[in-house]
Structure 1
């Protein structure tokens, strides 16, 4: 099972250092979240810089809120990132649920799911080199990955799981413990079979971690509370952060037991020492 790192968002200038240190170690992927009305870096721009600062490790959005983006430009940006990274890009994608983000993006929050379905049809067609639409030719460049970058859908609703079978390569489950994640993994596998897809979906889990001195833990919890402040669950999520080697090892083992192909350990503190600490704990 692979282990990736979710990148902190509180100091974007430190992200190249995170990427280079992770690239030199045993980790498989670097993930970066997406919000519009928040103090976080824009993920596609940031990951392009990180892909250029690394040579081995994959980069992925976790997850990109696609309905906030124009579809044609999104097709071009994601194909460019996949091409320039040598096929090391994974598009984690979802609908989001923050009213302020939708207002800023100028979209109807009630239509974001239908908009994502329309976007995925257009993205797949564009990545395959077909004309974008009536009277519009192909939008390049051609991705390095045939058919476009790997697509993982995040979310908890039946519609999100259904998209795994319709459009995706796998499922990304965020911020749930293994015993709650297991049914979602099984649902994703069932939808995969429903659409007669070959092989099996890639299953990725995410856990929030903060490993280090108390200042690191408190910084992580502060950032989490700010990020989740909109929904009334901020304290619950912040208190659920894994902060000991034992808790992190147990969670990774439990995710492996339910079929995870990769576990993303999301680091909410910019303390780069966490990279080596997590490597020591898990490898």
Structure 2
């Protein structure tokens, strides 16, 4: 099993520092979330810069809200990023759950699932035509929770991003594997678990708690893994559930967390 880092969205100029440190460490992947009506960096632009500043580590959207975007342009952007990164790009896709993103993009929030299904057919067509070259088709993962959305993994993707607590993650993983087998897919899907972490002095923990609360808003209480013991236990649990990779999402801006996490998982 491999470990990745989810990059903080609160310090855009510091992302390359995070990326270079992670590239020198034991981490496989760097992830970046996507919103439109929020103060986060645009992930495809940011990950292109990160890919240029690194040599080994993969770059991944987790998850890109595809229905907000024009499909042909998304196909070309994703293929370009995959090529310029030397095949290190993973396109993690989802639909999101916030209406304000769709309102700002002029898209119908209620049709977001159907639109993504339509987009996947178009993306496959665009990639087969080689929008930037014959080998330009990025790895595709889907983040989802409900069965109709989980079916996209077997229909269109290479794996699954599970941003859910471990008590639900095992069921999601097994459902994805079953749907994959029923679809007649060979091999197995790549299974990714995600947890929110903060590791460091009190100021780092406080900053992370404030950032998580500000992002998820009222009515949501995502667990924040804020001690080495809790992070290790989370990683072990996800490994036992069959995860191929665990993404540790950081919310505080202190890049020294990369080194602390490297020591913890190394």
User: Do these two structures clear the TM 0.5 threshold for a shared fold by scoring above it?
Assistant: yes
Instruction: State the TM-score, normalizing by the size of structure 1.
Output: 0.92
Match of 1:204 in 2: 192
* Mapped partners of 2:134, 2:166: distance in 1: 34
1:258 to 232, 235, 241: 241
Gaps of 5+ in 2: none
* Mapped partners of 1:143, 1:215: distance in 2: 49
Match of 2:175 in 1: 187
Match of 1:135 in 2: none
1:216 match: secondary structure: helix
Write out the 4+ residue segments of structure 1 that deviate beyond 3 Å after TM superposition.
Answer: none
* Mapped partners of 2:191, 2:89: distance in 1: 16
Match of 2:141 in 1: 152
1:59 match: secondary structure: strand
* Mapped partners of 2:135, 2:12: distance in 1: 27
1:282 matched to 2:249: no
Match of 1:227 in 2: 215
1:160: how far off? 1.6
Q: Measured at CA, do residues 143 and 266 of structure 1 come closer, stay the same or move farther in structure 2, by a change above 3 Å? A: farther
Match of 1:20 in 2: 20
1:159: how far off? 1.7
Instruction: State the TM-score, normalizing by the size of structure 2.
Output: 0.98
1:26 match: secondary structure: coil
* Mapped partners of 1:142, 1:266: distance in 2: 33
1:141 to 116, 125, 132: 132
1:158: how far off? 1.1
Match of 1:38 in 2: 38
Gaps of 5+ in 1: 130-138
Match of 2:93 in 1: 93
1:126: how far off? 1.0
